[in-house]
Amino acid sequence: MRMVRPLLLASLLLLLIPSIEMKRPGKGRGLKGARHRLTRDKVRGTGRHGRSRASRLVPSSCSESTEAGEVFVDCQDRHLSVVPASNSWSQLPKHLLLARNRIKFLRDGTFLGYEGLTSLDLQQNRISLIEDGAFEGLTELTTLLLQHNHLGTLTEEALIPMPKLHYLRLYDNPWMCLCPMESLIRTLQLPSNRNLANHARCAEPLRFKNTKLKQVDPEMLCKEFDPAIDQQGDQTDPSGPLDPIPFRRQDATTLCHTYFFPQVRMDCSNRGLTEAPTGIPDDVVQIDLSRNSISHLKTKSFHGLRSLRTLNLSQNHLEHLDTGSLSGLLHLRELDLTENSLHFIQYGVLEDLYFLSQLKLGGNPWMCDYNIHYMMYWLRLHSGVKHSGLICRAPLDHAGNSVEEYVHDYNRGCPNERKPSREDQEQLNTALEVQGELEEELEPSHLRKPKKYEIIRLS
Ligand SMILES: *[C@@H]1O[C@H](CO)[C@@H](O)[C@H](O)[C@H]1NC(C)=O
């Protein structure tokens, strides 16, 4: 053993020399820089000509990044028709994002060289064929996303190279539940594989249409069926042995696009939603619900989403937020409510948002009457919250003023330098009472900041 060590050292040194030398000539970043330049030059040199060659090249636009010590390669939305070779990157990625490209086939050995990959996102491509050896070498892979593709069949063999696979998404593919799928379906149905392919459903044959892969009776898959009978079934009423799929309204998992890395993020923007979707996964960190038509946010719309940090509800038609509509969002940091139809925020709506730091409120017709006091009061108690866009649009007296100013003037009893009328005075008293009540209710919580101002009674 002792003899081996100097030898080992020597050979290690020898191995190191080339990389040291590579660093010398360029101002670049050694091997990294060299590879980077190589890719760039290749793209420049041939990118415009020769389609067949160009398709093999790596688009220089994929981005490489490191987060929490893990290397990500992001090639989403890059018009790729093939998986870039593993030597395209300066470091081997742990996470490879290839969603929304134009990949049609995964041939044997496609991911050779990608050992160490733990997650692979291939959703929203056009994959119709996966050869048995396509995932060869992905021994560390835990997450494989293949939803929204054109797959009709997949064999169990294709999954065998990935012993650590823990999350597999196969839904929204036109699965043909026939004999070649038998072993795969049996595997998916093992209790230990409860996270694999949960929502995938058969598209064919008719007798299994819309049945979940998890629920198909594997005994039936390889049974000889008289094609004539199945054909006949095609023309008659498809009820009977068929499970009708329950119509799941506005379900987030099918409607929205979910990104799993670097954190769970859902893009539900511009989906024609008229209410908050159901089925939002518990571990979601960001949801974008902007540019929909939600007008009323109901109690417990986001129940149980304890990881949620950013909620974007901008450009909806929101007029009303129920008191409990944001309840449970204990870790929300950023709430975007811009460009809605809100006149005020009802008492209690903001109560769970202990960690809010950004509140965007612009583009709403804020009504500067006493209903608005709750929000101002809450904001004062949570002075760490940066807010924007709180401008009165009505009544005319206050239009264009900041709500803060309005409330300030109101509390000093001289809104717009005029004496309060009796009506105003009554309203003021009510407002002060409401504030008093609020104070009592809010006071005991240890999470609140001590109040920094006092209410001056004028009467
Ligand atoms: C919310 O969505 C809108 C429109 O899609 C976008 O302009 C805005 O920046 C988003 N807000 C946040 C906080 O990400």
pTM: 0.49
265 alpha-carbon distance from chain centroid: 2
User: Using CA atoms in the order 284, 290, 295, 297, what is the torsion angle rounded to 10 degrees?
Assistant: 20
Judge whether 61-231 and 261-442 match in fold.
Answer: yes
Where would I find the H helices in 175-214?
182-188
What is the mean pLDDT of the segment spanning 171-190? 89
Distance 381 CA to ligand 1 centre (A): 26
Instruction: Please say if the pLDDT value at position 356 is more than 90.
Output: yes
The pick from 336, 337, 356 for probing ligand 1's pocket by mutation, whose C-beta has the most ligand atoms within 8 angstroms, reads 336
Which pLDDT score, from 0 to 100, does residue 457 have? 53
Which pLDDT score, from 0 to 100, does residue 204 have? 85
Atom 5 of ligand 1 has which residue's CA nearest to it? 290
Q: Which fold is adopted by the domain 261-442?
A: 3.80.10
Q: How far apart are CA 80 and CA 355, in angstroms?
A: 41
Q: How far apart are CA 371 and CA 374, in angstroms?
A: 7
291 lines ligand 1 (CB under 6 A): yes
State both tokens at 142: 């835990």
Q: Let me know how long the chain is.
A: 459
Nearest-atom number in ligand 1 for the CA of 269 is 5
Which pLDDT score, from 0 to 100, does residue 20 have? 38
Tell me the domain boundaries of the chain: 61-231, 261-442
Distance 328 CA to ligand 1 centre (A): 22
Q: Which residue has the higher pLDDT, 220 or 42?
A: 220
Give the architecture-level CATH label for domain 61-231.
Answer: Alpha-Beta Horseshoe (3.80)
Instruction: Please say if the pLDDT value at position 219 is more than 50.
Output: yes
User: Using CA atoms in the order 203, 207, 210, 211, what is the torsion angle rounded to 10 degrees?
Assistant: -120
296 lines ligand 1 (CB under 6 A): no
